[in-house]
Amino acid sequence: MDNSSTIFGRKDVVAQPRKVNSSPPKKIRKERCDRKIDTKIKLSAEDKLLLKREARKYNLKLTPFVAMLVKHELAKTHEYTEKHFYDDTGSFVHVKLEKVFFEMIESMSDELDVTYREIIHRIVKTYIERISGIKTHDNRGGI
């Protein structure tokens, strides 16, 4: 047995410096022009059921219907005041908006100093109030 072998019969390996990978940097992919921004808002079970029924009238699923609803409501001039309290209980409803509409929501949220989720929630609750014909109540007991 010579001096260069170990007790397991292998020769000692001298550490060599690793090769530096000089691959070109990854290309940044272009963003799709029709990309949609997914936003989630919370609604009560009753409100969600009402929206599902309305969506069925238009032969749509809930997410495309709510997106269509928000787009149509943004085209109108409504005041979305604080009468609809954004409650964190309930279940999520997805709203997928194009960048143009999302930017409109963001500008409204900056003006009113609230989150974009609250703006979308106010728009949806205003629509629900209008189609149901009754005033919706928030969890604080007010109208």
109 Cβ contact partners less than 8 Å away, ≥ 6 residues apart: 115, 116, 118, 119
In 2-115, which ranges are continuous DSSP H helix?
Answer: 45-57, 62-75, 99-112
The predicted structure's pLDDT at residue 81: 64
Single-letter code of the amino acid located at 35: R
Report helix, strand or coil for 42: strand
pTM of the model: 0.69
Torsion of CA 91, 64, 39, 133, to 10 degrees: -60
Give residue-wise pLDDT tens across range 80-120.
666 667 777 889 999 999 999 999 999 988 988 888 999 99
Q: In the chain, count of helices (H) and strands (E)?
A: 4, 2
pLDDT tens for each residue of 12-54 = 666 677 776 677 778 888 888 888 999 999 999 999 999 999 9
Take residue 112 and report the two structure tokens written for it: 């009113």
Coil, strand or helix at 92: strand
- Separation CA 36–CA 41 (nearest Å): 16
Q: Which domains does the chain have, with CATH numbers?
A: 36-132 (1.10.1220)
